[in-house]
Amino acid sequence: MEGELVFQKGSKDDIPEIFEVFSEGIKEMIANGIYQWDEVYPSIGDLENDLENEELYVGKSEGDIGVVFVLNQDFDEQYQNGKWVLETENFMVIHRLCVHPKFQNRGFGKKTLLHIEEILKSEGIKSIRLDAYTLNPYALRMYNSLGYSVVGEANWRKGKFYLMEKILRDN
């Protein structure tokens, strides 16, 4: 996994570059036949709300934003479909993880998830939850390789998503 990645909270000044990460990411997904995101979601309004709530993070490499993600305890009502391993309030949910195409295939997604795990472990969080589009083989392969388990399904506007969870253990 090459390339340095420095994480920090996103700022309002980052909005144009953050939106570019998603715009370019969506184009790349569509080029690969993955119709998970579009002009409706995620919207610039979603990203501005994430920033306002101080829940949006960026990973910078070579002076540019290479990855964006949101971390909070918010979840859709369809998360009730999950058979979560830990029935606890001690979890965080990853939303809108996106790697800019010019930084893809460099391990940035994995580095980001490992960074999130380390931060959450240090804060005493026991579980990470997320949803992954069933027709995105790249994301599914990454989550599976890092030990995320499918615990249920949700159906949204774009189709079926897996509800996934990883239990954080102290090593």
| 90-118: pLDDT as tens digits | 999 999 999 999 999 999 999 999 999 99
Backbone dihedral angles phi then psi of residue 52, each to the nearest 5 degrees = -60, -35
Cα(112)–Cα(66) distance, integer angstroms: 10
Q: Answer whether residue 22 shows pLDDT above 70.
A: yes
Who wins on pLDDT, 56 or 40?
56
Do 13 and 53 contact (CB within 8 A), yes or no? no
> pLDDT-derived band of residue 67, with 50, 70 and 90 as boundaries?
very high
pLDDT of residue 2: 53
Q: Read off the pLDDT band of 1 (50, 70, 90).
A: very low
Verdict on whether the full-model pTM lies above 0.85: yes
5's CB contacts (< 8 A; 6+ apart) are: 59, 60, 61, 66, 67, 108, 111, 112, 115
- Point out which residues pair with 8 in neighbouring strands: 58
Share of the chain above pLDDT 70, in %: 97
The pLDDT assigned to 3 comes to: 66
- Average pLDDT (121-130) is 96
CA distance 68 to 22: 8
- Dmax (CA) for the chain in angstroms is 41
**Structure-model confidence comparison of residues 2 and 75, the more confident one:** 75
Fold of 6-167: Aminopeptidase (3.40.630)
**For the chain, what is the mean pLDDT?**
94
The CA distance from 169 to 171, in Å, is 6
Hey, where are the domains in the chain? 6-167
Q: Which pLDDT score, from 0 to 100, does residue 114 have?
A: 97
